[in-house]
Structure 1
Amino acid sequence: MQVIERIFFGNYILSVALISWLAAQVSKTAINFFLSGKFEAERLWGAGGMPSAHSALVCSLFMATAKLEGVNSPFFAFAFILAAIVMYDAMGVRHETGEQAKVLNRMMQGWMDGNIENILPKNEKMLKEKVGHTPFEVLSGALLGILIAVLIPVP
């Protein structure tokens, strides 16, 4: 237990990043509940949605690294590049994957509504559509992560 405590609570950068991720996931769940009127537990750990927890995590990571190590450190450079890659991927490849899932799900539903049997096995699930982010969702997550890193003081 002491090892876990030292890793998470003794490591400023890791703690800030995990707190930012958790704040984004809880916010995402609350926003989803407010908009849809139903609680979806999957939103607490799932990808996609508003705000981007991935963006919050990596932006708080680079901001906490900047505060602790300075912007001229190689650690900051690494954290910054990682953040850029993660956010680009969230808006690009992962967002397009979600859009394709929507189209495929509509096609499958249309075929199934037409009483064509055996298109999807009975136990098969629809494709997950919330896997990527819009630029606004990424920006919101990034700002949340940066804000949390700014607000949590370096010990």
Structure 2
Amino acid sequence: MDELVDSVRLMAKNNAKEASSANSIVANYPLISALVAFCIAQFIKLFVSRYREKRWDLKQLIGSGGMPSSHSSTVSALALAVGFQDGFRGSLFATASVFACVVMHDAFGVRLHAGRQAEVLNQIVYELPPEHPLAESIPLRELLGHTPSQVIVGSLLGILTATIGHLIVGSNTEA
């Protein structure tokens, strides 16, 4: 009988831990801030695409490249939210900031140039004679990276998202 009681207590304790960890994920302000910034950026891309192409392109909700940079908004929101939550002098904020800089540099550096190379390669393949073995190859994705303005706008979106989140979280803890 004691074993049964111990088993029930252990199960209750494990259930409490699972509920606590689920609540801590939902209450993780930096994580939520980064995810919200990502979703907002992807949603904005849908409307920018609609404005430019005069048609709805639902691929924009999950695609990379375009205005604004969702990568930049995500990492900017994460870094700022970590700074708000844990302080701007700590190693965690430094790590998140360096991570954000690397991601943003990669977005308008390496990935942008890889996309431009894909454009050139696709053009070469299009001009191949039909009997060439590569003539029927699947085109490479060309929209991989971001222009500096797309990265800056994405970063500003992330900063705005984290700041608004901080104001909301801060007002909830004061009440």
Fold match, TM over 0.5? yes
- Give the equivalent residue in structure 2 for 1:81: 98
Which residue identity is paired with 2:66? G
Moved over 6 A (4+): none
Q: Does 1:18 align with 2:31?
A: no
For residue 46 of structure 1, give the secondary structure of its aligned residue in structure 2. Answer: coil
TM-score, normalised to structure 2, is 0.79
Structure 2: gaps of 5 or more residues = 1-17
Gaps of at least 5 residues in structure 1 are: none
Report 1:5-154 matches (<5 A).
Answer: 5-111=22-128, 114-121=129-136, 124-153=137-166, 154=169
Q: 1:116, CA displacement in angstroms?
A: 4.0
SS of match in other structure, 2:127: helix
Identical residues among aligned pairs (%): 35
**TM-score (normalised: structure 1):** 0.89
Q: Which has the higher helix share?
A: 2
- The structure that has the greater radius of gyration is 2
Q: Higher relative CO (CA 8 A, sep ≥ 6), structure 1 or 2?
A: 1
Number of aligned pairs?
Answer: 151
Contact 2:68–2:154, Cα closer than 8 Å, also in 1 = yes
What is the alpha-carbon distance in structure 2 between the residues aligned to residue 3 and residue 18 of structure 1? Answer: 20
Q: CA deviation at 1:54?
A: 0.3
Counterpart of 1:55 in structure 2: which amino acid?
Answer: S
